[in-house]
Amino acid sequence: MADQKIPRATAKRLPIYYRYLKLLLDDGINRISSVDLAEIVKIDAATIRRDFSCFGALGKRGYGYDVEALLEFFAGELNQDNLASAALIGLGNLGHALLNFKFQKTSNARISAVFEVNPDLINTIQDGVPVFSMDDLEEQIAEQRIDVAIMTVPADVAQDIAARLEKSGVKGILNFTPLRLNVSRAIHVQNVDLTNELQTLLYFIDNDIKN
């Protein structure tokens, strides 16, 4: 599939499919239709079939999808056999919560280094992960071959840190700050604005807008 351009919306749904297929296989379900899968993942069947068609013939008419074969296929697409190391930038309340979240149990990533400015946290071990000074950012990212950074820092320093991360060779940033980062197209940024998500949810509730 390296030669085929997969739509961004489809790519964002692949981890959802993978997670639920794994649950299905664990429950002993070996075959499923797009209609039944749609009911489980809450994505309409037509979208599922369209997503899957991007990767060729993954199912059979009248049979549906082989759960184990589909799971193995998406595991390969998501590179589940390759454990990626991530850096956590900022160890405030949100940073601590993310550090406590065991990414490795649900994905192929782990936090292997934390970077902080608080001298009380630097050179300590938090939840089994070493905490480094921000002064050591470039050196440690290169030494540990870190490709992904999770940013939970104040907005006023986010852009400067993003620039340092890009120069250090980081390929992707999961951005929990409200600032939209100015980086080159060579680096992928996924923005997670919790305040915006909450406000959107409240708007949907107030206006009775259904998914």
Terminal alpha carbon distance of the chain: 31
**Is residue 128 a known part of a binding site?**
no
Is residue 70 within 8 A of residue 21, CB to CB? The reply is: yes
pLDDT tens for the chain, 211 residues: list them: 444 578 888 888 888 898 899 899 999 999 999 999 999 999 999 999 999 988 887 877 767 899 999 998 888 887 766 677 899 999 999 999 998 886 655 567 788 899 999 999 999 999 889 999 999 999 999 988 899 999 999 999 999 999 999 999 999 999 999 999 999 999 999 999 888 888 888 888 888 876 6
Alpha helices in 78-178 (DSSP H): 93-100, 103-106, 137-144, 155-167
Q: Return phi, psi of residue 149, to 5°.
A: -125, 140
Domain ranges of the chain: 8-77, 84-196
What's the CATH fold of domain 84-196?
Rossmann fold (3.40.50)
Nearest one of 105, 100, 99, 96 to 86, comparing CA atoms: 99
Say how far apart CA 111 and CA 95 lie, in whole Å. Answer: 11
Q: What pLDDT shows up at residue 211?
A: 61
Nearest one of 62, 29, 34 to 48, comparing CA atoms: 34
Centre a 10 Å sphere on the Cβ of residue 92 and count the other Cβ atoms it contains: 12
Say how far apart CA 110 and CA 148 lie, in whole Å. Answer: 10
Structure tokens at 153: 């820092």
Q: What pLDDT shows up at residue 107?
A: 62
Question: CA 9: distance to chain centroid?
Answer: 14
**Is residue 88 a known part of a binding site?**
no
Q: pTM for the complete prediction?
A: 0.69
| Torsion of the alpha carbons at 125, 136, 114 and 123, rounded to the nearest 10 | 20
Candidates 3.50.50.60, 1.10.10.10, 2.40.160.20, 3.30.830.10; CATH matching 8-77? 1.10.10.10
Is residue 177 within 8 A of residue 154, CB to CB? The reply is: yes
**Is residue 100 a known part of a binding site?**
no
**Is residue 59 a known part of a binding site?**
no
Identity of residue 163: A
Q: Which residue has the tokens 């939970």?
A: 152
**Is residue 93 a known part of a binding site?**
yes
Say how far apart CA 64 and CA 76 lie, in whole Å. Answer: 20
